[in-house]
């Protein structure tokens, strides 16, 4: 579903990603681990096509379509969705407005949809049910998006938007950082649902890339494959359980060293 080849990305003239190769097939969930500053978030931003993340080399293909010349919204309408690590506050734009927007994007994949403000408009039942699933009251949906939200509320609001948008490929940027255990559990459950993890592997159609530096989320969501990003390169790939255990116990450097030794023997 997502095919990244030899990708190099510059931010403000500085090379951040230095030749990434990554293939995520239909129905697969990949974990991307790495210390702060290794380039994890930059990879997500490059997949989304934010202008200051400049692709200097390589390609990103999604469902066979080259993404690098498309705008963010065009990529999103092909079926990509993202849960941000630190979403911005927007005064006057309600969480409910965001949900209606996500629903329109779901319905109008590949089309350009006109989106009007929705002040005071009642929400559809499925949107309300999704909100309930993530423990949001109807009153909460009338709040300005992310303004004064707690860490857990902001993360749940991101997951809620994805639940409604229902993309084919999910990007999760640190869905588990700064969130208490109950919230991580809930977020994990909903991610499993969205990614059809209850189905047999051959019947799964949804794919994801999950970024984390804590790894907590993998207590709830089983990944198919894990990668370690170090200094702008994928230093190591393998079975998630093994890699995550090693990182938790011994840190990134050692994990990568052992990984490289294994590959060389």
Partner 1 sequence: MKREEVGEVERAENEKQLVEFPDEHKERLLMSGVDLSGKERSGSFIQKDTQILLALARHAGLEVMPIAEALETHEWLAEYFWKAVPADADAYTKATHREKEVKGVFVRAKRGVKIPFPVQACFFIASEHTAQKVHNIIIAEEDAELHLITGCATPEKFGSAVHIGVSEFYVGKNAKMSFAMIHNWSSDVGVRPRSAAIVEENGTFISNYVCMEPAKSIQMYPSALLVGENALATFQSILYGRGNAKIDVGSKAVLAAKGSRAEIISRAVATENAEITARGEIVGNSAGVKGHLECRGLLLSSSAKIHAIPALRASHSDVELSHEAAVGKIAEEEVRYLMARGLSEEEATSFIIRGFLSIDIKGLPPKLASQVQKMVQLSAEKLL
> Contact residues for partner 1 (CB under 8 A)?
48, 50, 71-73, 76-77, 82, 84, 87-88, 90-94, 97-98, 101-102, 104-105, 108, 112-117, 119-120, 144, 161, 165
φ, ψ at 36 (rounded to 5°): -60, 140
Q: Which is nearer to partner 1, 163 or 243 (CB)?
A: 163
Q: Which is nearer to partner 1, 97 or 174 (CB)?
A: 97
Q: Which is nearer to partner 1, 114 or 139 (CB)?
A: 114
**Contact indicator for 44, 173 with CB cutoff of 8 Å:** yes
**Contact indicator for 33, 212 with CB cutoff of 8 Å:** yes
Q: Which is nearer to partner 1, 95 or 244 (CB)?
A: 95
Q: Which is nearer to partner 1, 210 or 236 (CB)?
A: 210
In angstroms, what is the minimal distance from the CB of 220 to partner 1? 24
Q: Which is nearer to partner 1, 164 or 256 (CB)?
A: 164
In angstroms, what is the minimal distance from the CB of 35 to partner 1? 24
**Contact indicator for 217, 180 with CB cutoff of 8 Å:** no
Structure tokens at 217: 């989320």
In angstroms, what is the minimal distance from the CB of 257 to partner 1? 36
In angstroms, what is the minimal distance from the CB of 215 to partner 1? 25
In angstroms, what is the minimal distance from the CB of 146 to partner 1? 9
In angstroms, what is the minimal distance from the CB of 195 to partner 1? 19
């Amino acid at each position: 579903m997502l095919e990244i080849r030899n990708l190099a990305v510059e931010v403000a003239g500085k090379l951040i990603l230095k030749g990434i190769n990554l293939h995520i097939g239909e129905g697969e969930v990949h974990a991307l681990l790495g210390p702060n500053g290794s380039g994890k978030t930059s990879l997500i931003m490059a997949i989304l096509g934010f202008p200051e993340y400049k692709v200097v080399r390589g390609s990103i293909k999604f469902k066979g379509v080259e993404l690098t010349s498309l705008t963010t919204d065009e990529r999103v309408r092909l079926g990509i969705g993202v849960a941000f690590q630190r979403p911005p506050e927007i005064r006057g734009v309600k969480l409910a407005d965001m949900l209606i927007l996500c629903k329109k994007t779901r319905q109008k994949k590949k089309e350009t949809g006109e989106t009007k403000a929705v002040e005071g408009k009642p929400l559809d039942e499925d949107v309300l049910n999704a909100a309930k699933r993530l423990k949001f009251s109807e009153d909460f949906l009338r709040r300005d998006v992310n303004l004064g939200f707690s860490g857990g509320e902001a993360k749940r609001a991101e997951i809620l938007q994805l639940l409604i948008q229902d993309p084919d490929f999910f990007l999760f940027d640190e869905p588990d950082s700064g969130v208490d255990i109950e919230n991580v559990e809930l977020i994990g459950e909903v991610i499993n649902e969205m990614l059809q993890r209850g189905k047999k592997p051959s019947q799964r159609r949804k794919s994801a890339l999950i970024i984390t530096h804590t790894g907590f989320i993998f207590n709830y969501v089983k990944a198919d494959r894990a990668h370690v990003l170090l200094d702008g390169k994928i230093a190591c790939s393998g079975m998630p359980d093994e890699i995550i255990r090693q990182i938790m116990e011994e840190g990134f450097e050692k994990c990568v060293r052992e990984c490289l030794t294994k590959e060389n023997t």
